[in-house]
A and B are shown apart, each in its own frame.
Chain A
Amino acid sequence: MLVAMLLMGINGFYGLLHLDVARAYGLITTRSIELNNSTNGATNTTYAVTFTPSASNSIQAIIVDFCSNDPIIGDSCTTPSSFTLTATPGVSNQSANISTYTTVATLNSNRTLELSGTAGAVSTAITFNITTVTNPATTNTTFYGRILTFDTTTHANSYTPTGANTGLVDAGGIALSTAANIVITSKVQEQLSFCVYTNTTCGGGGTTISLGDANDVLSSSHAYVSSGCTSSCSTLPNTINALGAKFDVQTNASNNAIIRIKGDTLKFGSTPITAIGSSATSSSVGTSQFGMCLYDNVASGATITPTSPYNNANCDSSNDSTGGSSGGGTGTAQFAYDVTTGGGTGNNITGTYGQNVASVNPGSSQTAELSFLANISTSQQAGIYTATLIFVATGTY
């Protein structure tokens, strides 16, 4: 008999009790309390309360009580650890059918919310938000909400979890839970891809460009520009060596990457072809000059910003117009080649770290084109002139 009573306690006692009180109140339906943050101990959490009354009965107040032990109406209620609505709980977004319910109070040491307004019959879904809730302190823990409606505010004020609760119209329980947060961590490593080449693509390689005619011979009556010819190369005269230098660069350096070039002017032994200097200058046929400029040749991707004095806006015009057989280099492009600023180890192309010629912001791979110009005077010493340029990319992360 005792065993039967216990089994009944497990399987039927609640039903008996429920049946007993069901005679006094209806069961709210479609009820839920949605948390915008289930982290244990989270403060100012919003609880979105939704339920539908059992029938069209007149009510004036709503009680929402939070318990750690169970959702059963009539049972004692234990406050969830550290749970609080705060002393002045916030309520917002009341549905139209309880739009007058603006009086907010707490009971049971800020565990129980009482929301009241003008009395009236309500049969449709009721919703409102409680915006100042501090979640229970323990993670992955179930707790419960009990929703009760009363015919008058006076009766609601007298609400006790285990009391007779005169004027109780509808009620129902809801289970909630706190949950552990999942932290997702990933790392993005520093990247710097840098490729200097003379053929069409980086994969094509190439490490040498030649300035001059078909035999790489310069002239005192004709400028030669070796530019990055990636399109319309056929428009260049046959006497122009169209192979140009380029570099591809890609980085995620948050403070950009700097491209530096280190080298010297064209030299035959110790005899130079005069470097143009630190001021961008137009080609002057018959005057010994060696210079360069560069430009970002693609609109998309990261931005390569050439640095003064190598940033002449017309540098890209050196591609075709300044390499013409009738006096190349007479276009509007201007070139520079600084071998003096700051002295031997200073910020010039011959310095310890070379010279800053461009900066690159983070982004996808981008290509810069370099145009080199050479002119000679009639007194320029005969010989084979060479220059070796070292390109260094430095990202600051």
Chain B
Amino acid sequence: MIRSRRAFVLVCVFVFICCFIIASSNKSKAFNGLLLNRSDRLSDSQASTSATNLVSFQITDLVDNLGSVQLSFCSNSPIISVSCTPPSGFNASGAVLSAQSGNTGFSISGASTSNVVILTRAPAPPNPDLGNPSVSTTTFQLDSVVNPNFSNEYYLKLQIFPTTDASGPDTQEGGVALATNNPLGVNAQVPRMLFFCTAISFPGNDCALGQGDSINFGNFSNNITSSGTSQFIVSGNPDNGFTVSVQGTTMTSGNDTISALASPTPSVTGVNQFGLNLRANSTPSVGNNSTGSGIAVPTSNYNQTNRFTFNPNDVVVASASRSDYQTFTVSYIVNTANGQAPGVYVTTLTYVCLANF
């Protein structure tokens, strides 16, 4: 009888201790610690757009197993105890878990819904961070999550569970606020442009500073080559580029003319020659190569050093496409033969820039 009483007392004490332990255990579960550094970075904040959600948080309960993570997207509140209203238009049904770090081995549970994503794995304690072993930083990248169809605030509730199916009490939790909004459009127009200016010289390669419009060769000599230069600046954005051509005649004095060079030819004194090119020459020493960042180049007949030519309406410079500012220097040479009729020889040359839009 006494033994049975003692046994009964021992059983009661054992039951009491067990109940106390269970009660204590439940009590600790009821206090849900807060997940730290919670965030959800969206790749796109536009309403109704499929975006990547980079969800990150830190676990401080490194004792309890981590078996599942529940991500609940709600329009009404991030408070765990408040029932969740799915955001209108939000859809995570097609979400893809494309990356995970910190705590890995997760996959999307089939129990997930359009606004609740459950990530599951075999339960295991969280991995402490190497740099800070008191926390376990966890990151999930969820692709193909469709944003709500409104531009406003909505929320993500984060909960971690020791179970694999997000059942039972969570071990830690926390909320995140997100926002969708309209994108910003920036518009501008670039007009069709063609810039062209001619003068004897352009200090600073500036059209506005062009100087002079005539070249005076002075008195011709049959044993000295007369030379001179003029310049033009060209630029434009025609898709098919542009050309610069030269119009006019060779030098004339009444009915007397100085023959133009029909093909690129070296300068020879004592022979009637009128020609030009767009290069830096040494015989005679005249001219410069083009300067500037554009892509226009002299055409082949006018792009030969120490060789000159002139044919009216020839294209002297061409650009295959849009081109930035360039300064071209045109070198002119005149030679005269013995017996060339005296007189004042002149010519007027007109440069024409034609855009090919």
What is the interface of chain A, defined by CB distance below 8 A to chain B? Answer: 187, 189-196, 198, 205, 207-212, 215-220, 224, 226, 245, 251, 253, 255, 258, 260, 262-263, 266, 268, 273, 352-354, 372, 374, 376-397
Contacts and interface: CB of A to CB of B under 8 A. Distances in A.
A378 B236 contact: yes
A374 B153 contact: no
B189 A381 contact: no
Contacts of B192: 382
Interface string B31-71: 00000011111111110000010100000000000000000
A353 B54 contact: yes
B41 A394 contact: yes
A191 B153 contact: yes
A198 B235 contact: no
Given A194-B179, A378-B195, A209 B187 contact: yes
Interface of B: 37-46, 52, 54, 77-79, 153, 155, 174-179, 181-193, 195, 235-237, 239, 294, 322-325, 357
Contacts of A353: 41-43, 52, 54
A112 B174 CA distance: 51
Nearest to B181: A196
Contacts of A389: 183-186
Contacts of B183: 196, 207, 263, 388-391
Given A262-B44, A379-B236, A211 B175 contact: no
B41 A372 contact: no
A378 B186 contact: no
A378 B184 contact: no
Contact of A379 (B43, B44, B235): B235
A353 B324 CA distance: 35
A153 to B, nearest CB: 49
Contacts of A262: 43-44
Interface of chain B, main secondary structure: strand
Contact of B41 (A215, A245, A392, A397): A392
Contact of B190 (A190, A210, A383): A383
A208 B177 contact: no
Given A193-B179, A379-B294, A396-B39, A390 B153 contact: no
B187 A211 contact: yes
10 contacts: A189-B177, A217-B191, A263-B183, A378-B237, A381-B239, A390-B45, A392-B44, A393-B179, A394-B41, A397-B38
A268 B39 contact: no
Contacts of A196: 181-184
B241 to A, nearest CB: 10
A309 B176 CA distance: 28
A72 to B, nearest CB: 40
A396 B37 contact: yes
B52 A352 contact: yes
B38 A396 contact: yes
A205 B46 CA distance: 15
B188 A385 contact: yes
Among A212, A387, A389, A394, find the residue whose CB has the most chain B CB atoms closer than 10 A: A394
Contacts of B46: 390
Nearest to A384: B189
B175 A391 contact: no
Contact of A209 (B42, B174, B184, B235): B184
A122 B52 CA distance: 82
Given A384-B189, A391-B183, A395-B176, 9 more contacts: A378-B325, A379-B235, A381-B190, A388-B183, A390-B46, A391-B45, A394-B40, A395-B177, A397-B177
B236 A391 contact: no
Q: A-B pairs with the 5 shortest C-beta distances?
A: A192-B177, A194-B179, A379-B322, A378-B235, A211-B188
B184 to A, nearest CB: 5
Contacts of A191: 153, 177
Contacts of A217: 188-191
A395 B189 CA distance: 37
Among B182, B184, B191, find the residue whose CB has the most chain A CB atoms closer than 10 A: B184
Nearest to B81: A187
B12 to A, nearest CB: 24
B275 to A, nearest CB: 31
Among A263, A379, A387, find the residue whose CB has the most chain B CB atoms closer than 10 A: A379
